Chain A
Amino acid sequence: DAGVIQSPRHEVTEMGQEVTLRCKPISGHDYLFWYRQTMMRGLELLIYFNNNVPIDDSGMPEDRFSAKMPNASFSTLKIQPSEPRDSAVYFCASSISGSTVNQPQHFGDGTRLSIL
C-alpha cells in the first residue's frame, strides 16, 4: 500500500520566494495534518483537516502560511513570502477516524525546506 506521499523531498529557495509543499494522504483517510519539525521545537502541529475542511489552524505561525485541501487526495501548504526562520522539515500525516480515537497517524517522509 502506498503511504503518505509528499513532494518535493527537498526545497532550497531564496528569502521572499513563494514555497508550495504538496501532500497525498492515504486513500480512505479522512484526517490530514501538517506538522513542522525543528531541532529547537520538535514536532509542532500547524493545521489539520477533516473531510477536506480545516478544523484547527491555531498552529499556523502567521499569515504568510496557508493550507488548502481541494479534495480528499491532495493538500498543499504554502508559504509566501518565505523567510529563513521557516527552514525546517515539514511533515504531512493522515489518519482514519474509525470507531475509536485510537487510530495512528501515518506520516510522510517530509519536505526538508531551506530558505537562504
Chain B
Amino acid sequence: KNQVEQSPQSLIILEGKNCTLQCNYTVSPFSNLRWYKQDTGRGPVSLTIMTFSENTKSNGRYTATLDADTKQSSLHITASQLSDSASYICVVRIKAAGNKLTFGGGTRVLVKP
C-alpha cells in the first residue's frame, strides 16, 4: 500500500474555476511535505514545501494546507488557467530517511476553456 495517497486520480475543471486536490499520508515521522507540478513531457517543479509545524503555504494561485494530526494535505488552485493543466504530485520526506522522498501517484488536472 502506497504511503502517500492522492485523490482524485484526475479531474476536469473549467477555466476560471477553483479546485482542491487531496493528499493523505501514513509515513511518520516526516520532515516536510511537498507539492510538485509536472507538465506533460517535463520534469516535476516544486510548488510548495511545508514542515510539520506549518499549516498553510501559498505560491501565487496555489495554496497548500497541512494537518499533521490527521495526516492530510490539500492543494487549492484558485481561478484556474489553461496552463494549470498538469499532474500534481504530493511528496513526503521522512525523517531519518536521509534525502529520500516518498511520492504519491499524482492527480491529473485538465483545465478546459
Contact = CB atoms under 8 A, between A and B. Distances in A.
Interface residues of B, number: 21
B99 A95 contact: yes
A16 B23 CA distance: 40
Interface in B87-107: 89, 93, 98-101, 103-106
Contact of B49 (A33, A45, A55, A102): A102
14 contacts: A42-B104, A43-B89, A45-B100, A48-B99, A55-B98, A55-B99, A56-B100, A101-B32, A102-B51, A105-B101, A107-B43, A109-B41, A109-B42, A109-B43
B44 to A, nearest CB: 5
A107 B45 contact: yes
Interface of B: 31-32, 34, 41-46, 49, 51, 89, 93, 98-101, 103-106
- Interface SS of A by simple majority: strand
Contact of A31 (B44, B89, B99): B99
Nearest to A112: B41
- Interface residue tally on A, bucketed by range: 20 to 34
A104 B91 CA distance: 11
B46 A105 contact: yes
A93 interface: yes
A8 to B, nearest CB: 14
A48 B99 CA distance: 8
